[in-house]
Chains A and B, each alone.
Chain A
Amino acid sequence: MFIANNIRKEFQEDFWKSPFVALDDLSFKIEEGKITGFLGANGAGKTTFLKILLNFIMPTKGEVSYIGNITNRDFFKQLGYMPERPYYYEHLTGREFLVYVGKLQDLSEEQIDKAIEKWTKELKVFFALDRSLKSYSKGMLQRVGFAGALLHNPSLVILDEPLSGLDPIGRKEFKDILLKINREYGCTVFFSSHIVSDVEEVSENVVVIDKGKLVYQGKIDELLENSSTKLMRIEVEKLPEDFLSAHKDVIIKTSFAINQYLYCHKKDQQSLMMTLLSNNIDILSLGHESYSLEEVVYKLNE
């Protein structure tokens, strides 16, 4: 859908100080028809990149190029965007705001009415459409903003921290809609978040940045697979005090945070299990050592 080529962004805070580098040589590609999560800690440069992508700010170096015959104007016709924590024109009603957004997208009155009904019902904010936006809660504003981004059936949806400020039910509903627009309408979704589990739940691909630099770009599955070790994980109930020291040549590492885990190489798995059983130690589970995306991202950023 688009390619970021060597994007660098510097901000000159003070004339006498050296510029602050928000993005440094950032390059990645967003594939068409996929949901891609844009991960990074607060201040990593996610919003800065999105602002460059949307022409709100200019990069110091580099450029964003669109794949195919998309021009700058086409890009905005096909785009649905929702900024982080939006505060819309508070004296307009929800309906007036959505009509404004629809007209900016060159939709006819009929198309706007149909789209408003469809998306606001889907996002459960239809009942409040004739109230002024200043009476909306944060979650309701988020919902009306999301509806505004979807009115014209965009082929690319870009969302900046869309799930922040939503309750658990709202988060689930938003994630379901992201999956729906991707599966049913083939919409490409690119959304930023600092919450790894949200990205893991809905995205196929992920772009991870840290301090303005690219850390990883690609499929989440591959990232998890490449990050997993070949160690076996044995969950046990209770270990005698001297067990670990007696078998330190076989037990590579342990984890006793909540459950008790012993880690060993595959070749030692059989013998270690026999030893555990012969010592009357109950084995609760057996599996490969694996990391959650959160742990992998944390390791990548280290």
Chain B
Amino acid sequence: MNKTLLVARYTFKQLLKSKIMYNCFWLGLALMLFTYITSEFSFGNPRFIAMDFGVGVSSLASVAVAIFLGVSLLSDEIESRTVYIALSKPISRSSFIFGKILGMGLILFLNIFIIMTCSLIIYFIFGGEWSYLIPVFLLFSLFEALLVLLVVVLFSLITNKVMSVMNTIVIYVLGHAVPNSLEITMVTENPLLLKILKGYTYIFPDLDRFNMKKELTLSFPMDSNLIINSGLYAIFYSFLVLMIIIYIFKKKDLT
């Protein structure tokens, strides 16, 4: 475990000093500006627009950062041969990959925190009030981004960078679209299609479970069971993908 934390620490350190954090800072500023401009055009309810636009875009930005970080997590290590330095030391491949993901997960959290904070600043400027739903939203955005990070890392182990990004985007879009489509009349009236789509949600990640935007923007009360179930789902699914990643990485030829 010490070696895992060591790899995580140095992964975090390396990324913290890289340009990714500057990019995140500029992204946050751009988000603030656009949220402000959009709110100005809201004609009467700038707070709602600031929250709706701000969290919506920041959630998308978090996923984009996760894909960007995850796709090069291992491929860059192998291309630059830095992976050989670590794996020629007394450290197991599972400790190494877990440490890399942990370090990157921390960077992802920091990125999401900065982006979300920037988007919420405008909301508070327009007189928005603090709600317990804000940290819940932040937590589930992190869950979603972390799961996307794991999915892109998994794809990067079995295919090239472009295909990894493409596949992850498809998983992300379907992860929101398929659970939503289960309530459409066209689907509910077609038992076979309903079965197929339900089957999809059992196998592939149901990312709509992490979407708390409606509750946050409209201040709907949130069912605590829903929070717990979604949290457990995120942990279980992430753990499952992590185990698959570790298994493949242990077997993979690092050429």
Chain A interface (Cβ within 8 Å of chain B)? 11, 51, 54-58, 73, 76-77, 79, 81, 83-89, 91-92, 96, 100-101, 103-106, 132, 145, 148, 158
The segment from B10-18, B40-48, B138-146 found at the interface with A is: B10-18
B200-238: which have CB < 8 Å to A? none
Asked if B163 is at the interface of the complex by the 8 Å CB criterion, the answer is no
Q: Which residue of B lies closest to A102 (CB)?
A: B89
**Which residues does chain B contribute within 8 Å of A51, judged by CB atoms?**
254-255
B14 contacts A92, CB within 8 Å?
Answer: yes
For the complex with contacts A54-B84, A91-B14, 19 further pairs of A-B residues with Cβ separation under 8 Å are A51-B254, A56-B84, A56-B87, A76-B88, A76-B89, A76-B91, A81-B85, A83-B85, A86-B81, A86-B82, A86-B85, A87-B80, A88-B80, A96-B13, A101-B89, A104-B3, A104-B86, A104-B91, A105-B89
Which residue of chain A lies nearest to B16 when distances are taken between CB atoms in the complex?
A91
Residue-wise, chain B 69-91 has the 8 Å CB interface mask toward A (1 for contact) of 00000000000111011111111
What residues on B are CB-neighbors of A76 within 8 Å? Answer: 88-91
Residue in A54, A103, A105, A145 whose beta carbon sits within 8 Å of that of B87 in the complex = A54
The reply to whether A83 and B13 form a contact with Cβ atoms under 8 Å apart is no
Report the separation of the CA atoms of residues A54 and B13 in the bound assembly, to the nearest whole angstrom: 27
Q: Which residue in chain A gives the minimum CB-CB distance to B254?
A: A56
Residues of A close to B86: CB separation below 8 A = 104
Total A-B contacts with CB atoms under 8 angstroms apart: 74
A-B contact pairs, 26 of them (CB 8 A): A51-B254, A54-B88, A56-B254, A57-B254, A73-B90, A76-B88, A76-B89, A76-B90, A83-B81, A83-B85, A85-B81, A86-B80, A86-B82, A87-B80, A87-B82, A88-B80, A88-B85, A89-B10, A91-B13, A91-B18, A92-B10, A100-B6, A104-B3, A105-B89, A106-B90, A148-B85
Nearest to A89 among chain B residues (CB) is: B14
Question: B189 within 8 Å of A by Cβ?
Answer: no
Are A81 and B88 touching (Cβ within 8 A)?
A: yes
- Rounded to whole angstroms, the CA-CA distance of A248 and B13 in the bound complex is 75
User: A244 to B88, alpha carbons, bound, how many Å?
Assistant: 60
Q: How many Å from the CB of B22 to the closest CB on chain A?
A: 12
Closest to A52 in B: B253
Which secondary structure characterizes the binding site on chain B? helix
The docked-state distance in angstroms from the alpha carbon of A47 to that of B15 is 29
| Contact between A84 and B81, CB atoms less than 8 A apart | yes
Chain A residues with CB under 8 A of B80: 86-88
- Cα A74 to Cα B125 in complex, Å, equals 60
B78 and chain A: residue at smallest CB distance: A56
Minimum Cβ distance to chain A for residue B12 (Å): 11
What is the CB-to-nearest-CB distance from B26 to chain A, in angstroms, rounded to a whole number? 18
Contact B82–A89 (Cβ < 8 Å): yes
With A54-B84, A56-B254, A84-B81 in contact, do A77 and B90 touch (Cβ < 8 Å)?
A: yes
**What is the CA–CA distance of A108 and B253 in the complex, to the nearest angstrom?**
32
B binding-site residues for A, Cβ under 8 Å: 3, 6, 10, 13-15, 17-18, 80-82, 84-91, 253-255
Contact between A79 and B88 (Cβ–Cβ < 8 Å)?
yes
Q: Tell me if B6 and A103 are in contact (CB < 8 A).
A: yes
B3: chain A residues within 8 A (beta carbon): 104
- Asked if A104 contacts B89 (CB within 8 A), the reply is yes
Top 3 nearest A-B pairs (CB, nearest first) are: A91-B17, A81-B88, A104-B89
CA distance A56 to B80 in the complex (A): 14
Given contacts A57-B253, A83-B81, A87-B81, whether A104 and B90 have CB atoms under 8 Å apart is yes
B14 contacts across to A, CB distance below 8 A: 89, 91-92
CB contacts (< 8 Å) of B85 on chain A: these are: 81, 83, 86, 88, 101, 145, 148
User: Chain B residues with Cβ under 8 A from A105's Cβ?
Assistant: 89-90
Nearest-neighbor residue (CB-CB) of A78 within chain B = B90
Q: A57: nearest residue on chain B (CB-CB)? A: B253
Task: Tell me which residues across on chain B come within 8 A of A100, comparing CB atoms.
Answer: 6, 10
Q: Which of B85, B87, B91, B255 has the most CB of A within 10 A?
A: B85
Give which listed residue, A58, A81, A96, contacts B253 with CB less than 8 A.
A58
- Write out the residue numbers on chain A whose beta carbons fall within 8 Å of the beta carbon of B255: 11, 51, 56-57
- A112 to B253 alpha-carbon distance, docked (Å): 31
- Chain B: minimal CB distance from A74 (Å): 8
Q: Which residues of A contact B13 (CB under 8 A)?
A: 91-92, 96
**When chains A and B are docked, how far (Å) is the Cα of A106 from the Cα of B82?**
19
Residues in chain B near residue A86, CB distance under 8 A: 80-82, 84-85
Q: How far is the CB of B54 from chain A (nearest CB, A)?
A: 31
What is the CA–CA distance of A100 and B82 in the complex, to the nearest angstrom? 12
CA gap between A77 and B89 in the complex, in Å: 6
How far, in Å, is A92 (CB) from chain B's closest CB?
6
Q: Is A55 in contact with B87, judged by CB distance below 8 angstroms?
A: yes
Q: Which residue of B lies closest to A50 (CB)?
A: B84
For the complex, give the distance between the alpha carbons of A11 and B255 in Å.
10
